[in-house]
Amino acid sequence: MTHHGQHLDHEANDARIGANFEAECRNLMNRNSMNGSIPKVWQPALLALASVFALVLALYRETVVAMVTIWYRSETFTHGFVVVPIVLWLVWRKRAQLAPMAPRANVYLLLPLVGIALVWLLGDLVAVNSVTQLAVVAMLVMAVPAVLGVPIARVIAFPLAFMFFAVPIGEFVMPKLMDWTAEFTILALRASGIPVYQEGLNFVIPSGRWSVVEACSGVRYLIASLTVGTLYAYLNYQSTRRRLLFVLVAILVPVVANWMRAYMIVMLGHYSGNTIAVGVDHLIYGWVFFGIVILLMFMIGARWAEPDPVHVAHPGKQPMARALVGSSLMVWMVGAAFALVVSLPLLAKESLETHAVSAPAKLALGDSLSPTWQKANATVIHYKPHFAGTSAEVERTYSGADRVVGVYLGYYRDQDYSRKLVSSNNVLVTSNDTHWSMVSQSEAAATLDGKPVTLRSVHLRPLSGAVATLPERLLAWQVYWINGRWTSNDYLAKVYSAVFQLMWRRDDSAVLVVYTASDRTDAADRALGAFLADNHEAIDAALRAAAASR
């Protein structure tokens, strides 16, 4: 009994000491936060951090403006406008933990900053918005642990990570999401007893023809759900496992919900004689359905919510006496070094740019590329791929080996963000093309300049109501020419272009598309393969001549 009583006394005494310390810390926090004052140890660090932020935004203003412009014009990324206010609010919630901590600059974090600066330079050389914008946001995020220290950055790690949701990225998953939506919709229709004839993203049911286009991909739902779901998981859960699980749910739910949305829209159109769920209400029904699904997801997730723990600074972890001893000189030195590093990419870009004005590119193909292929009637096939902003382009049709093959060359010089070879807008056929629709996409193999090259292969079919003389099917092969290098890989094409520019060479690039009527796939493949085998050297010579025309 005596031992137990002493134990209770010790517990009561510890509780009183802990309560007094907690009250004292809260009073300190209230004095620092309620009266608006900033601890002296924080003042030079915050001023240095604000200066670094201002410098990054000023130096990379074109990248920042491009990012904000995408927020404004694209409904998919409108949430970018609220990311910064949310980040500031999330940091403000941590003020009680941050106030007793002492900022301590970390010079070693300038090393990864060099890598981030290089990434921006490479992205800018090949005009890839997502890369440059990610790099600028990474610079802003890296400034916090570099100027304030890693312990402080660790406290606000989630708000810093949430900053990356401001970058308008994610549309690269659109083709895969479109494929999944089409496959699920067709499977669900067949399971419902409705016969379906499918050709790629297009399918026909007894009541009409349907197509899965960009708006049906569900990428808007996915990005919106991931952004809001990540924030919800952070605010409502404390364990990493629950947070990650909810984020996973926030990814899967909009994908599956979009499948169900597409299926229900087709069913509504089918049973209403195509008077419901077509046109504008097609999208309205989708957003209403998505809103209901996300609301249910949050309501279910709330059942496992965990209370936010009260964080109290303990003397053993951050003594206030030690916190008042800070090195403002070190903070400003790291800030100055940070400013120098983020300036290097712009200086490098200036040195890599050639200021001589380029002459218009002169691109031409002869009437006879080789003895077995001669110029044919240019109106035989009626097809032209969509490549905008070319410096020069050539369309020719050649006949040989009992086949007619069309050739398209699109040449690019002095590329920038508004006109570039590799772009999501440059495609073999657009979704709103009035003549052709893509049936399938695969790969083809050819030997160019003695090296095996993989080409992009696409099967097209004419749309109903198109030109009556169009062939029943069309097979098109696509490949890029980057300063003499052949590739069909978008990413590798960007890498080649960046490497050549780092070597002080021009960014001259081109796309080659060859196409022919495809009554039988194997015959069309052989025809295009034979054409490239006989004529790729002549085409390469024409492209090199265009590169030399200055």
Q: How many residues does the chain have?
A: 550
376 occurs within a structural domain = yes
d(CA 55, CA 334): 14
Looking at the fold, whether 80 and 132 belong to one and the same domain comes out as: yes
Position with higher pLDDT, 341 vs 277: 341
Given this model, what pLDDT does residue 50 score?
94
Looking at the fold, whether 311 and 386 belong to one and the same domain comes out as: no
Q: Is 449 left (phi over 0), alpha (psi -120 to 50) or beta?
A: left
Given this model, what pLDDT does residue 354 score?
59
% the chain with pLDDT above 70: 83
Region 238-246: what's the mean pLDDT?
Answer: 91
d(CA 397, CA 338): 56
To the question of pTM greater than 0.85 for the whole model, the response is no
Q: Find the DSSP H helices in 275-368.
A: 280-301, 320-323, 328-352
% the chain with pLDDT above 90: 44
Q: Which of 124-133, 350-359, 477-486, 500-509 has the lowest mean pLDDT?
A: 350-359
1 occurs within a structural domain = no
pLDDT > 60? residue 131: yes
Region 149-160: what's the mean pLDDT?
Answer: 95
The residue among 324, 353, 382 that closes a domain is 353
Looking at the fold, whether 384 and 334 belong to one and the same domain comes out as: no
Looking at the fold, whether 236 and 319 belong to one and the same domain comes out as: yes
149 occurs within a structural domain = yes
Number of structural domains (the chain) is 3
d(CA 50, CA 160): 15
Given this model, what pLDDT does residue 462 score?
84
Given this model, what pLDDT does residue 152 score?
94
361 occurs within a structural domain = no
Structure tokens given for 204: 């026909």
359 occurs within a structural domain = no
Q: What is 393-462 written as a DSSP string?
A: EEEEEEEETTEEEEEEEEEE-S--SSS-SS-TT-BSS-TT-SSEEEEEEEEEEEEETTEEEEEEEEEEEE
pLDDT > 90? residue 360: no
Please write down the long-range contacts of 78-84, taking CB distance under 8 Å and 24 or more positions apart: 79/165, 79/223, 79/224, 79/227, 80/165, 80/166, 80/167, 80/168, 83/162, 83/163, 83/165, 83/166, 84/163, 84/166
Q: How, if at all, do strands 436-448 and 451-462 pair?
A: antiparallel
241 occurs within a structural domain = yes
DSSP code, position 166:
G
For residue 19, give every residue at least 6 positions away whose Cβ sits within 8 Å of its Cβ, in sequence order, or none: none
Region 343-371: what's the mean pLDDT?
Answer: 80
The residue among 353, 387, 402 that closes a domain is 353
Looking at the fold, whether 22 and 53 belong to one and the same domain comes out as: no
Q: Which of 27-31, 226-230, 381-385, 422-426 has the lowest mean pLDDT?
A: 27-31
Region 146-154: what's the mean pLDDT?
Answer: 94
Looking at the fold, whether 29 and 145 belong to one and the same domain comes out as: no
Interval 259-294: pLDDT, tens: 988 888 888 888 877 666 555 445 555 667 777 777
- Pick the closest to residue 117 from 349, 323, 435, 421 (CA basis): 349
Mean pLDDT, rounded, of the chain: 83
Looking at the fold, whether 493 and 425 belong to one and the same domain comes out as: yes
pLDDT-derived band at 521 (thresholds 50, 70, 90) equals low
Interval 60-105: pLDDT, tens: 999 999 999 999 998 889 999 999 999 999 999 998 889 888 898 8
Given this model, what pLDDT does residue 271 score?
81
d(CA 208, CA 210): 7
pLDDT > 90? residue 353: no
d(CA 57, CA 10): 56
Given this model, what pLDDT does residue 89 score?
95
pLDDT-derived band at 425 (thresholds 50, 70, 90) equals confident
Looking at the fold, whether 423 and 537 belong to one and the same domain comes out as: yes
Looking at the fold, whether 493 and 348 belong to one and the same domain comes out as: no
d(CA 83, CA 227): 9
**Domain extent at residue 14:** 6-34
Region 303-324: what's the mean pLDDT?
Answer: 55
Looking at the fold, whether 347 and 372 belong to one and the same domain comes out as: no
Looking at the fold, whether 70 and 164 belong to one and the same domain comes out as: yes
pLDDT > 90? residue 355: no
454 occurs within a structural domain = yes
Q: Could you tell me if 134 and 161 are in contact, meaning their C-beta atoms sit under 8 angstroms apart?
A: no
Looking at residue 444, which CATH number applies to its domain?
3.40.1000
- Pick the closest to residue 346 from 49, 47, 55, 51 (CA basis): 55
d(CA 393, CA 409): 5
d(CA 129, CA 167): 9
Q: 199 by DSSP, 3-state: which?
A: strand
Q: Could you tell me if 354 and 503 are in contact, meaning their C-beta atoms sit under 8 angstroms apart?
A: no
362 occurs within a structural domain = no
Give the angle subtended at the CA of 219 by the CAs of 216 and 220, to the nearest 5°.
95
pLDDT > 90? residue 25: no
pLDDT > 60? residue 317: no
Looking at the fold, whether 327 and 392 belong to one and the same domain comes out as: no
Interval 376-418: pLDDT, tens: 876 667 888 999 999 999 999 998 877 889 999 999 998 988 8
The residue among 298, 329, 353 that closes a domain is 353
Structure tokens given for 206: 């007894």
Q: Which of 186-200, 293-307, 407-421 has the lowest mean pLDDT?
A: 293-307
CA 282 to each of CA 2, 162, 288: distance values in angstroms, whole numbers, following the listed order:
77, 32, 10
